[in-house]
């Protein structure tokens, strides 16, 4: 706000004082929100580290077991077993709120299935197919969990970033400018008061003379 645009009136000063008060209150609340979000972020970060580790572990395990399955059953056998899967996993996407940030709440069904619900017959396949199916089911579960946690983390980070920008804007731009404008008006008003006093004194002196 350029100082030349400011009307040095008392009402403007009152309104500026109100704005300063509001900005300072907003600044304090946003600062608390930022600190809260950072705390939440570190909590989620810890879970995310574990889930990322679990995901990598599941991925490596699934890759190792599919290599064994290709070795034992051949790619033809593995592809034929994969054709048996009739039931596809269902994923429901809900929302939850962390300090005003809407984050996803992913729930999955029919990912990990028991041996008799996988769609292939036990008598026509071998145990390595079971182990492969289990490894990949666990991988899908780990992916879903990691997706939820990492999206939460990204949204929290975005929110922390925007809150930080707001806090900084209030701290270094809005509040100083408003304070400067208020002190300018105050100074102007004081000056105007002094001018008025001086003028009155002059008039009085003239009238007495």
Partner 1 sequence: MAEVVNRGPGSYIYATTRMRVRKIKLVPREDYLRMLNMSLPEITRFIEETQYKAEIDELSSSFSGIDLMEVALSWNLAKEYQKVLDITPGILKEFTQNYLRRWDIQNVLNILRGKTQGLSSGKIKAVLIPAGGLDKDLLDSLLNEDSPERVVDALKGTGFSSLLGEEFPAAQESGSFARLENELYKQYFADLIVAAKSGVKGGVAFLEYIRFEIDIRNIQTLFRLKTGRVSDVRDMMIEGGSFTVEELQRLAGTESIDDLIDAVKSRVRVAPLDALLNEVRENMSIHEIENRLTCVMLEQMEKLSKRHPFSICPILVYLKKKRYEVENLRALARGKESNIPSERIQDYLVM
Binding mask 27-66 for partner 1 (x = CB under 8 A): ----------------------------------------
- Is residue 75 at the binding interface for partner 1, with CB under 8 A as the rule? yes
Q: Closest distance between partner 1 and the C-beta of residue 111, in Å?
A: 16
Burial 142-170 (b: 16+ CB within 10 A, else e): bbbbbebbeebbebbbebbeebeebbeeb
Binding string, residues 131-170; x marks residues near partner 1 by CB under 8 A: x---------------------------------------
Q: Are 186 and 16 in contact (CB under 8 A)?
A: no
Residue 90 in the binding site for partner 1 (CB under 8 A) = no
Neighbours of 96 (CB within 10 A): 11
Measured from the CB of residue 140, what is the shortest distance to partner 1 in angstroms?
18
Q: By CB under 8 A, is residue 110 in contact with partner 1?
A: no
């Amino acid at each position: 706000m350029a100082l030349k645009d400011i009307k040095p009136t008392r009402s403007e000063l009152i309104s500026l004082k109100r704005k300063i008060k509001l900005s300072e209150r907003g600044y304090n609340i946003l600062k608390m929100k930022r600190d809260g979000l950072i705390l939440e972020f570190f909590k989620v970060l810890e879970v995310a580290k574990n889930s990322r580790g679990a995901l990598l572990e599941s991925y490596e395990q699934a890759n190792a077991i599919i290599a064994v399955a290709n070795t034992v059953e051949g790619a033809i056998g593995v592809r034929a077993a994969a054709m048996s899967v009739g039931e596809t996993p269902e994923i429901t996407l809900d929302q939850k709120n962390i300090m005003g940030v809407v984050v996803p709440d992913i729930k999955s069904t029919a990912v990990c299935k028991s041996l008799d619900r996988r769609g292939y017959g036990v008598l026509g396949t071998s145990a390595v197919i079971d182990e492969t199916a289990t490894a990949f089911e666990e991988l899908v579960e780990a992916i879903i969990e990691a997706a939820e946690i990492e999206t939460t983390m990204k949204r929290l980070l975005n929110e922390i970033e925007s809150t930080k920008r707001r806090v900084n804007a209030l701290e270094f731009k809005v509040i100083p400018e408003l304070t400067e404008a208020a002190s300018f008006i105050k100074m102007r008003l004081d000056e105007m008061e002094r001018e008025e006093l001086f003028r009155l004194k002059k008039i009085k002196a003239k009238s007495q003379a």
